[in-house]
Amino acid sequence: MTETDDMNYGDLTLHTDKYQVNMMYAHWKQGSLNRKAVFEVFFRKLPFNGGYAVYAGLERIVAYLRQLSFGDEEIRYLREQEERYEEAFLDELRTFRFTGNLDSVPEGTLVFAGEPIIRIEARAFEAHLIETALLNFMNYQTLVATKASRIRQVANGDVLLEFGTRRAQEADAAVWGARAAYIAGFHATSNLRAGILFGIPTKGTHAHAWIQLHDGEEEAFRKYAEVLPDQVSLLVDTYDTLRSGLPNAIKVGQWLESIGKRLMSIRLDSGDIAYLSKRARAMLDQAGLGYVKIIASNDLDENIILNLKQQGAKVDIWGVGTQLITSADQPSLGGVYKLAERENARGEWEPVIKISGNPEKVTNPGAKEVWRLVSRETGKAIADYVALRRETEPAEGKPVLLFEPAHPFLNRMVENYDAFRLLEPVFRDGELVSELPSIEEIRRHHERQLALFWPEHLRLLNPEPYRVNLSKTAWELKMSMLEQHRR
């Protein structure tokens, strides 16, 4: 947190859709601005045809909510709009702060489709404003953390470096994407700003231009090694990897040995990585440089890494760029922010449903709690149980029914479980009430999360779906509200 607070990150109060401000205005005009509402954030479909997602974005959301305020410049801008907002509304905005409650799954947690991962209870006035930014942050960061987690599965313990900045979708994506990748198990990023903002380790070698600015490859390697003898990683594909790059790298490696140092690694950034890495490994080993690591980069993703490994590529360290930072095979997560419950004109809470001709777009009414049920026998997660907030069974450890309305033969009572409440309090009445974990703690939390699930749910291809069940009570509420609408 402190680092993001210190670096001035730009005022994000207007980082919202205009219709949010128009709805705020309409609430203000009709006197309903203080009526409360519960909104929940969830996504309907797991990305990459995968079995899970890795939640990220909360630190950014917290920083955003804490800085929310309309200054002179914002007020002046709004005054100019064709909506011609009344001056008294603009005055109301001057004292605007986020005063609501926010509960969120901790970052690094494995999350699934159809379950609330953030819950906001706030004045309608505030809840509208923040929707756009919350989705923007959560959607992107969760997407990249999930992609990174998949890449890490195939890397199988190899070192993973995030190298995507130059192809990222602008500067924020580069740094928050680097952070998301680190949460999900990447080991370092090349982006120094991500390093200073988030305390992520940074790594770097040299570029082709370094070679080209010298009169020869060997000279360029040698000069680089003289300057940073403890951090030498040599890019060997500027001219010809096997006939020039490697022989020169080996000479410099041997020179480094002569001064009591060791060449750290060589990097392959083009060509046939499977073939070149095997040849490079053999050449290095033969020269007595068996300790020199091989880095590969060049449009890698989980499928290419899997295939390279299957071909016996001798790569120790993977530099992953474009495919990760843009989440190229699915560049957006469809997270939404939906009204679940509202305070009506009489001050009573009532659940709200959104109907749609598209069945999966019908929302689950009522403010909800998500429970992760973990077997006391196996220590593994059994299912996520989405119940109305008022339901107490999981908290009390009472038997709960995993209820499948379309497939009653799958119904199942769960006993002897531990129930973990996924949504944890972050803001209460606008005050931050939880200390956000450090990035290292988030990484460790993510590790523990992975261990909580059977590998069948996590595998990349055709995973066994992990159950997310609505409680019978929540289901019946939905059915009765649908019935009411039909009439």
Print the binding letters for residues 36-55 with its own copies: x by CB under 8 A, - otherwise: -x-x----------------
Task: Assess contact for 75 and 94: CB atoms under 8 A.
Answer: yes
The verdict on 208 binding its own copies (CB under 8 A) reads yes
* Distance of alpha carbon 485 from the chain centroid: 37
Q: For residues 215-244, which are near its own copies according to CB under 8 A?
A: 215, 223-224, 226-228, 230-231, 237-240
| Least distance (Å) between residue 22 CB and its own copies | 5
Tell which one of 61, 145, 155, 174 touches its own copies (CB under 8 A). Answer: 174
**Among residues 264 and 381, whose Cβ is nearest to its own copies?**
264
**Out of 66, 193, 412, 445, the residue judged to bind its own copies by CB under 8 A:** 193
* Amino acid at residue number 200: I
Among 216, 288, 312, 331, interactor with its own copies by CB under 8 A: 331
Say whether residue 484 binds its own copies (CB under 8 A).
Answer: no
Q: How far is the CB of 389 from its own copies (least distance, A)?
A: 18
Rounded-to-integer distance, Cα 265 and Cα 245, Å = 13
Q: Which of 99, 158, 167, 309 binds its own copies (CB under 8 A)?
A: 167
User: Whose Cβ is closer to its own copies: residue 350's or residue 441's?
Assistant: 350
Residue of 72, 170, 360, 435 that binds its own copies (CB under 8 A): 170
- Interface with its own copies in residues 426-455 (CB under 8 A): none
In this structure, are residues 293 and 264 in contact, taking their beta carbons and an 8 Å threshold?
A: yes
Cα–Cα distance measured from residue 63 to residue 61, given in angstroms and rounded to the nearest whole number: 5
168 binds its own copies (CB under 8 A): yes
Rule CB under 8 A: say whether 352 interacts with its own copies: yes
What distance in Å separates the CA atoms of residue 305 and residue 320, rounded to the nearest whole number?
10
- Which of 1, 9, 306, 445 binds its own copies (CB under 8 A)? It is 9
- CA distances (Å), 424 to each of 219, 338, 371, 444, in order? 57, 19, 11, 18
Q: At what angle do helices 124-155 and 58-67 cross, to 10 degrees?
A: 150
Q: Is 377 helix (H, G, I), strand (E, B) or coil?
A: coil
Residue of 248, 277, 327, 449 interacting with its own copies (CB under 8 A): 327
**Closest approach of Cβ 326 to its own copies, in Å?**
4
Helix 124-155 and helix 18-30: axis angle, to 10°?
A: 150
For residue 235, the minimal CB distance to its own copies (Å) is 9
**For 99-125, b where at least 16 C-beta lie within 10 A, e where not — what string?**
ebbbbbbbbbbbbbbbbbbbbbbbbbb
The CA distances from residue 407 to 112, 303, 404, 410, 411, in Å, are 20, 34, 5, 6, 7
245 sits in which H/E element: none
* Contact call for residue 482 and its own copies (CB under 8 A): no
Question: Which residue from 163, 182, 186, 318 is in contact with its own copies, where contact means CB under 8 A?
Answer: 163
Tokens 């900045």 identify what position? 165
Compose the 460-479 pattern: x for residues touching its own copies by CB under 8 A, - for all others: --------------------
Give yes or no for a contact between 301 and 328, defined as CB atoms under 8 angstroms apart: yes
Binders of its own copies among 115-154, rule CB under 8 A? 124, 128, 131-133, 135-137, 139-141
| Residue from 32, 67, 303, 434 in contact with its own copies (CB under 8 A) | 32
Applying CB under 8 A, the site for its own copies has a residue count of 111
Contact characters 376-405, its own copies, x per CB under 8 A = ------------------------------
DSSP letter at 123 equals E
7 touches 60 (CB < 8 A) = no
Spatial contact of 270 and 296, defined as CB atoms under 8 Å apart: no
User: Which region among 106-114, 211-219, 431-439, 448-456 touches its own copies (by CB under 8 A)?
Assistant: 211-219
**DSSP-derived secondary structure letter, 201:** -
The amino acid sitting at 140 is Y
Q: Which of residues 249-268 bind its own copies (CB under 8 A)?
A: none
The least distance separating its own copies from the CB of residue 272, rounded to whole angstroms, comes to 9
Kindly indicate which of the ranges 278-286, 354-362, 367-375, 419-427 contains the residues binding its own copies, using the contact rule CB under 8 A. Answer: 354-362
**To the nearest whole angstrom, how small is the minimum distance from the Cβ of residue 483 to its own copies?**
14
Q: What are phi and psi of 71, to 5 degrees?
A: -95, -175
The single residue among 1, 63, 90, 196 that binds its own copies, judged by CB under 8 A, is: 196
Paired with 369 in beta bridges are 387
Q: Which of 369, 372, 358, 426 is nearest to 402 (CA)?
A: 372
- What is the four-CA torsion angle of 403, 409, 414, 415, rounded to 10 degrees? 140
Q: How far is the CB of 163 from its own copies (least distance, A)?
A: 7
